[in-house]
A and B are shown apart, each in its own frame.
Chain A
Amino acid sequence: MYYIHTISSITNQDSFRNEDVYASLREFDKEIDVVAPDYKEFIPRNSLRRLSPILRMGLTCAMECKNFLDKNFDAIVVGTALGCLKDTEKFLNTFITSTSDFLSPTAFIQSTHNTIGGQISLGLNNHAYNMTHTQNSLSFEVSMIDAFLCIKDGKKNVLVGAAEEKIDFLEKVQPSLIPNGYPLASGASFFAISGEKSKNKIGIQAVATNFNSINLENEIAQFLAKENCEMVDLILTSGDVVKNTTSKIESINYLKITGLHYSSSAFATHIAHDFLKNNDAETALIVNNLCKGKLGLILVKKG
């Protein structure tokens, strides 16, 4: 088990500093992108000005996890499928339209995917292992796999999370760059995990990825059998209704709640954690098959 010690999420839901995001879930709010905290509390004003939404979200969630844990992280692992889109778009606009030989480099240097991890290392003055995984809809799942490896390698406290930002242009290029079907959104969720038991004993038992997913139901059954899990109390899915007898309560389509971005399963993990924390339940399964043929499974457990 990889125990979750703190979680911080900024999403379309009212999730930041919310002790029970499961209980307060509501319909996706089309009028807003995310319910953002006052970033000035977390980020110095002079740097805040330069930071795009994804950097603000990622850095704030990381700082919030650090504040609660009160220990330095021994590794920082970030997942992001599309990364810093706002700065990418900005720099594209700059160099395509500019006739000047002198361009501002800020958008360029903040456009690389690992700017989120880099800003976290700077913000926390952290010299540890710092990794960024960009595997489309499974970016969060592969980041989790790396975080677990870090703990196996002997690192104690690991910060792992994912962040995505929505830009309006994405709507123009659906479905080639991102699938159709749900409102596009931004979001970030970060977790401080370790091998040591957390207060509420909730953790992640296993994460599995499948890049050649053919039969969803069989693959879920195989995964649960391997993890000695006969019954799960809650299933959170990225769309397909998982028809089976393994869930005591109906499954929740988390994309309807979080909106669509490639790392929505990170917030689903937050929902699962709070569900287990505040209810008489022991297991939750996240089924992420947002992209055809790609399947991510995350088993969250109490105990």
Chain B
Amino acid sequence: MKIYVTGYGLISAIGVGEEETLDALRNERTGINTGEKEETKAYKVGEIALSNDELKERFKLSTEGSRTALLGMVAAKQAFEGHLLSDEIKTGLISGTSVGGMDISEQEYRNYLNGEKHNPENYKHHSSGVSSEQIAEELGITDFINTISTACSSAANALMMGARMIRSGMLDRVVVGGTDSLTLFTISGFKSLMIFDADWCKPFDNSRKGLNLGEGAGFLVLESEKSLSISNKRPVALLSGWSNASDAFHQTASSPDGQGAQLSMVEALNVAGLKPSDIDYINAHGTATPNNDLSESQAIKSIFKEAIPPFSSTKAFTGHTLAASGGIEAVFAILAINKGLLLPNLNFSNVIEETQLTPQLSFEEGKTVKHVLSNSFGFGGNNSTVILSRVD
């Protein structure tokens, strides 16, 4: 059974929606800058300039929520634009998030610790499940709501769960993706792990030091054939492959040979019925941490052997948007397929000594891009791969 993509939306540090995003990608303009807020001013971050109030006003959001929920609403609304709710199309929403409403909770908890006015009411936004319920409410979706929280692979897993639910007939249409806002919690966390680059991150470069954090959301609408016949939407891509596998190596570090990543890529190719040589572009996880990029490079080499397709990490544009990254990068994959794009890997100068791989260095347009493989790897050795394909 084919899983059709009939809508997509995204918001990240490089812009809102397709046009702004493409403009930044085409002009190789990063969204990562020195932070402008009190919490972020000491770092290079992929921050979205719009405040919560500006987001609500500009995108006419009627549901309250944490920043994570608001960003999710912006991207999910874009994706769902032109779709009508109908009793005939059983519609769900599956969102991935790692921080949920932590942006509010951490402020409130600080007040509590400092003995200042503490309003327990504000924790109602805390749980990740609530952020998905708020996004679903904004879209009017009630048939099914789910949240996946597997750290940085959350959105990719939401895509996978959605596809499997459509395939089993449980849903006809599902809005899938992920959302995460910048929080002090995650900034302090990655800082404590000492995998932050104080400068712009350098994915797949030999001298890479670590990641830049970002925020954002990316969502797709998936539909079955039955749903298409009622919605009359034009498919823009197929979600053809998906997989999740466990590295079972370490809570945060990837295995040296990227075993989990290999398992995940191989199984996604199997689900899609594709050979490695069918893949035209890989959007890598590529966080620019010393550990991830080496491990992922080894995994890519072991699967694609001598014929590695053009690959790049787009994290140097958006920053690492954690649970949202798989959703945002799935939208990049769809843009690549429909516009024949290869996306550049910014800030690269030298190949990693052990693997000698050179990523795609410039923006190219007008290529034949039929199948894009997109990796998302998370804490807990949680490795996911999705494959998006051209509708022929």
Chain A residues within CB distance 8 Å of chain B = 76, 81-83, 91-97, 102-105, 108-115, 117-119, 121-122, 124-136, 138-139, 142, 145-146, 149, 152-153, 172-174, 176-177, 209, 211-212
Q: Give chain B residues whose Cβ lies under 8 Å from the Cβ of A145.
A: 165, 170
A81-B127, A211-B136 given; A105·B193 CB < 8 A: yes
**CB distance B127 to A177 under 8 Å?**
yes
Q: Flag if A110 contacts B251 (CB, 8 Å).
A: yes
Across the interface, do B192 and A146 meet the contact criterion of CB distance under 8 Å? no
A-B pairs with beta carbons under 8 Å apart, 10 shown: A105-B192, A112-B150, A114-B382, A122-B251, A127-B246, A128-B245, A177-B120, A211-B133, A211-B142, A212-B142
In the complex, chain B residues whose CB is within 8 Å of the CB of A110: 251
Please report which residues of chain B, range 251-278, place their CB below 8 angstroms from some CB of chain A when the two chains form the complex.
251-252, 259-260, 263
Minimum CB–CB distance from B113 to chain A (whole Å) comes to 6
Residues of B within 8 A of A133 (CB): 146-149
- The smallest C-beta distance from B98 to any residue of chain A, in angstroms, reads 6
Are B185 and A91 within 8 A (Cβ)? Answer: yes
Describe A's contact surface by its main secondary structure. Answer: mixed
Whether the pair A83, B245 counts as a contact (CB closer than 8 A) is no
Given A108-B192, A129-B244, decide whether A96 and B109 contact each other with a Cβ distance below 8 A: yes
| Given contacts A81-B127, A211-B142, A127 and B380 within 8 Å (CB-CB) | no
Residues of B contacting A96 with CB < 8 Å?
106, 109-110, 113
Contact B109 A122 (CB under 8 A): no
Asked whether A131 and B157 contact (CB < 8 A) given A109-B193, A114-B380, the answer is yes
Taking CB as reference atom, which chain B residue is nearest A75?
Answer: B244
Q: Which residues of B contact A94 (CB under 8 A)?
A: 188
Contact with A along B300-323 (1 / 0, CB 8 A): 000000000000000000000000
**B residues near A130, Cβ cutoff 8 Å:** 150, 244-246, 380-382
Assuming the contacts A114-B149, A117-B150, A135-B146, asked whether A95 and B185 have C-beta atoms less than 8 A apart, the reply is yes
Contacts of B136 in A (CB 8 A): 211
Do B151 and A112 touch across chains, with their CB atoms under 8 A apart?
yes
Interface centre among A124, A130, A174, A212 (most CB of B within 10 A): A130
Residues of A within 8 A of B170 (CB): 145, 149
Which residues does chain B contribute within 8 Å of A142, judged by CB atoms? 146
- Please report the C-alpha to C-alpha distance between residue A26 and residue B177 in the assembled complex, in whole angstroms: 44
Q: What residues of chain B lie closer than 8 Å to A104, measured between beta carbons?
A: 192
Pairs A-B, 7 closest by C-beta atoms:
A118-B380, A108-B189, A95-B188, A136-B129, A113-B149, A105-B192, A103-B192
**How far, in Å, is B322 (CB) from chain A's closest CB?**
10
Contact with A134, one of B109, B120, B127, B248 (Cβ below 8 angstroms):
B127
A173, B104: Cα distance in complex, Å: 14
CB proximity of B264 to chain A, nearest CB, Å: 10
Measured between alpha carbons, how far is A132 from B100 in the docked complex, in Å?
14
Contact of A176 among B123, B144, B146 (CB under 8 A): B123
Q: In the complex, which residues of chain A have a beta carbon less than 8 angstroms from the beta carbon of B121?
A: 176
Q: Does B214 contact A (CB under 8 A)?
A: no
B109 touches A126 (CB 8 A): no
A176 touches B149 (CB 8 A): no
| B188 contact set on A, CB distance < 8 A | 91, 94-95, 103, 108
Task: Give the CA-CA distance A93 to B106 in the complex, in Å.
Answer: 10
Interface residue tally of chain B, by bracket? 35 or more
B134-153 interface mask toward A, CB cutoff 8 Å, 1 = contact, 0 = none? 00100000111111111100
CB-defined contacts of A91 to chain B, threshold 8 Å: 185, 188-189
Give the chain A neighbours of B130 by CB distance below 8 A: 136
A-B contacts besides A83-B149, A102-B192, A177-B123, 5 pairs, CB < 8 Å: A112-B150, A127-B260, A132-B150, A134-B127, A135-B129
Nearest Cβ on chain A to B48's Cβ, whole angstroms = 22
Question: Are B245 and A131 in contact, CB atoms less than 8 angstroms apart?
Answer: no
| Given A112-B379, A118-B380, CB of A134 within 8 Å of CB of B247 | no
* Contacting residue for B132 out of A97, A113, A135, CB 8 A: A135
Contact (Cβ within 8 A) A127 B106: no
Give every chain A residue within 8 A of B143 (Cβ-Cβ). Answer: 211
B126 an interface residue at 8 Å Cβ cutoff?
yes
Determine the residue in chain B with the shortest Cβ distance to A130: B246
- A109 with B252, Cβ < 8 A, contacts A117-B150, A128-B245 known: yes
**Beta-carbon contact of A134 and B147 below 8 Å:** yes
Write out the residue numbers on chain B whose beta carbons fall within 8 Å of the beta carbon of A82.
Answer: 127
- Distance of A227 from chain B, by nearest CB (Å): 15
When the two chains form their complex, are residues B150 and A135 in contact, meaning their CB atoms are under 8 A apart?
A: no
Interfacial chain B residues near A125, Cβ < 8 Å = 248
Contacts of B72 in A (CB 8 A): none
The distance from the CB of B297 to the nearest CB of chain A, in whole angstroms, is 20
In the complex, A177→B378 CA distance in Å? 26
How far apart are A147's CB and chain B's nearest CB, in angstroms? Answer: 12
Asked whether A149 and B124 contact (CB < 8 A) given A130-B380, A142-B146, the answer is: no
Q: Which of B100, B127, B130, B142 counts the most A-chain CB atoms under 10 A from its CB?
A: B127
Is B66 at the interface (CB under 8 A from chain A)? Answer: no
- Report the bound CA distance from A94 to B245 in whole Å: 32
Residues of A within 8 A of B148 (CB): 131-134
- Name the residue in B149, B193, B260 with the highest tally of chain A Cβ atoms < 10 Å from its Cβ: B149
A212 / chain B contacts, CB cutoff of 8 Å:
142
Interface residues of B in 63-102 (CB under 8 A from A): 98, 100
Check if B30 is an interface residue, CB within 8 A of chain A: no
Specify the chain A residue showing the minimal Cβ separation from B322: A112
Q: Distance in Å from the Cβ of B108 to the closest Cβ of chain A?
A: 9
How far apart sit A117 and B247, CA to CA, in the bound complex (Å)? Answer: 12
Q: What is the bound-complex CA distance between A109 and B252, given in angstroms?
A: 7
CA of A173 to CA of B111, assembled, Å: 14
Q: Is B191 an interface residue (CB 8 A)?
A: yes
Is there a chain A Cβ closer than 8 Å to B232's Cβ?
Answer: no
Say which residue of B113, B132, B192, B379 sits within 8 Å of A93 (CB atoms).
B113
A93 to B184, CA, bound (A): 12
A121 to B150, CA, bound (A): 13
| Residues of chain A within 8 A of B246, CB atoms compared | 76, 118, 121, 126-130
* Chain B residues in 8 Å Cβ range of A209: 144
The reply to whether A131 and B146 contact each other, CB–CB distance below 8 Å, is no
Residues of A within 8 A of B168 (CB): 149, 152
